[in-house]
Amino acid sequence: MKLKILKKQHMMISNTVQMLNTIFSVQLLASTIITFGQISLDLYIHLFQWHDGVFINLNGQFSEFILSDIIYYIIKLALIVWACETCKNQAQEIRTTIHDVLNSAKDEQIKNEMVTISLLKFQKQANSNMRKRWRPFYATDFQSLMYPCFTFCRILGIFPYKINNSTFEASESCYILSTIVLFVFCIYEIIIIYKLDISRIIINRSVLSSFKCHNYYVLGSFTMIVTYVLRRPRLLLLQTVLEISSELPSELYEKLSRLIHIKDIFGFFLLVIVSVAYCIYMPLNTIFLTMFVIYLTLLMFQMDMMYMNCVCILKICFKKINDNLMKVQELVMSDKPYLLRRIYHEQKNSLLLMKLKTLKKQHLMISDTVQMLNMIFGLQIIITIVISFTEITFNLYFYIVVFIAEEEENFWYWFFILNMIYYITKIILIVWVCDSGKDQAAKIGITVHDLLNNTSDKQVKNELEQFSVQILQRKNAFSAKGLTIDATLFTAMAGSITTYLIILIQFLMTSHSCDGNISIAEII
């Protein structure tokens, strides 16, 4: 009776923990972000002090206020972490006590009751806390591989899903948050366009700068809207990729996680650090516009990373099919004489036919997933390419202008260089992943034709011919609304950027020769 009462109490407390996480998750997330931002900014002000910023001379009282602010946020965060960590440890001690009692008890009824409590606790932990199983650079399945990407997307409010027993489901609370974010986002976008084009409160100093701003704001906002509208097809895509990749061994996930976790985690935090520095050097009256630009940048980065991660997983699936076909080829090539030749061939051909049909079915599922990926992420990748093209061209132009005018190096000089490197790196990664995935899919056709030339059985040949026709009908090229993403695209982008850059430099030289030296502010 006492064990049943304790089990019921444990169930009630566990449900309360889940309810607490659901209700206070958004609040704790906001508190963590505010704490991180306040500590970073206060430490920067206290250690380096602004010389040309808002606060020119910091007196002693203001310095004490900054130190007090830092201490307050550090203590608050430390108390929250301490309370949660000690509570988690206390909950884990229950499991240890249960197993000690289970090992000491001899009565069967008591043992059964203890086993029931132990299984109940294990089920609660397995369903509610995936983070205990996740380790950086050591993924074992699709969920642990995509965990950083999903976490950052959930922070930005663009992941209205929850994972329940290896199944993606729509989350009502996350959907409401995503709707609110989109509404606020669109309202502020309209205000920015009004200030740029109608009231002229925000003034651009040149046509090039105006074009760059309109291109970034409009296309970035369109990415946000497309992300919200295609949330259900994206849910189906993620579920399909999860099912396809469920048969991959954990060793492949571990190797793939070294690339995916590095680019997802370090890329996100690098953008956050650069964004904090960008906020510091921007005027205080443009703080909302600055936050708008930062949110756009993080949103497009996470959606591009999600696309790249799905392409990487599909590439590994194609590689797994090709490896299995190579094993089939080795089985065909190792045809040695046996005493019971007829029985041996019947068993071998039956095994080959079953394996080929399975591989053909897997190839068809992966090919359908590639088409689904192209359809869902097509507009987003087109927008990424256009924005990257514009940003790289503008930043290169700025760098050359500074070089010609021999301006002094400052924050904006290095900011434009970092911005250019960021977009070049992102485009190179997207092109490399898509091009290598297409090549991996093409290798399957080569292996099938080699296998077709090495076999003489009619049934096996017929199955291989059907497999070959299926491969010919499915090109498995990663494209964005008809634009194939491969090395040819990168070459075309490099040529176009060089052409437009030469045209801009010619206009710059003409301005120098006709009007004399002009300042960087007038050009940009």
- Determine, yes or no, domain membership for 3: yes
The per-residue pLDDT for range 400-444, each reduced to its tens digit, is 776 655 555 566 777 778 888 899 999 999 999 999 999 999 999
219 located within any domain: no
Tokens 């052409």, located at residue? 499
First to last CA, the chain: 79
CB half-sphere exposure, 343, CA atoms < 13 A: 3
List of E strands, 374-489? 479-480, 483-484
Percent composition of the chain: helix, strand, coil (DSSP 3-state, to 5) = 85, 0, 15
Q: Does residue 227 lie in a domain region?
A: no
Which of the pair, 115 or 208, is modelled with greater confidence?
A: 208
Q: In which residue are the tokens 């065909």 written?
A: 332
Residue 410: which residues within 8 A CB-CB, separation 6 or more?
A: none
Position 365 confidence tier, pLDDT thresholds 50, 70, 90 = very high
Instruction: Give the integer Cα–Cα distance in Å for 400 and 397.
Output: 5
CA 85, chain centre distance (Å): 28
Indicate whether 4 belongs to any domain. Answer: yes
Distance, in Å, from the CA atom of 160 to the CA atom of 162, rounded to the nearest integer, reads: 7
Residue 276 lies in a domain: no
The total number of structural domains in the chain stands at 1
Question: What is the per-residue pLDDT for 512?
Answer: 56
Rounded-to-integer distance, Cα 213 and Cα 284, Å: 19
Q: Which amino acid is at 433?
A: V
In this predicted model, what pLDDT tens digit does every residue of 257-293 receive, in sequence order?
A: 988 999 999 999 888 888 888 877 777 777 788 888 8
Q: Is 94 within the bounds of a domain?
A: yes
Asked whether the whole model's pTM tops 0.75, one would answer no
Cβ contact 395:318 at 8 Å: no
- Label residue 346 exposed, middle or buried (CB < 10 Å: 0-12, 13-18, 19+): exposed
Q: What average pLDDT does the segment 66-78 reach?
A: 81
Q: What is the pLDDT of residues 366-394, one digit of tens each?
A: 999 999 999 999 999 999 999 998 888 88
What tokens were used for 299? 């949103």
pLDDT in tens, 309-341: 999 999 999 999 999 888 888 777 765 444 344
Residue 114 maps to a domain? yes
Q: Is 61 among the domain residues?
A: yes
Domain that holds residue 59: 1-129
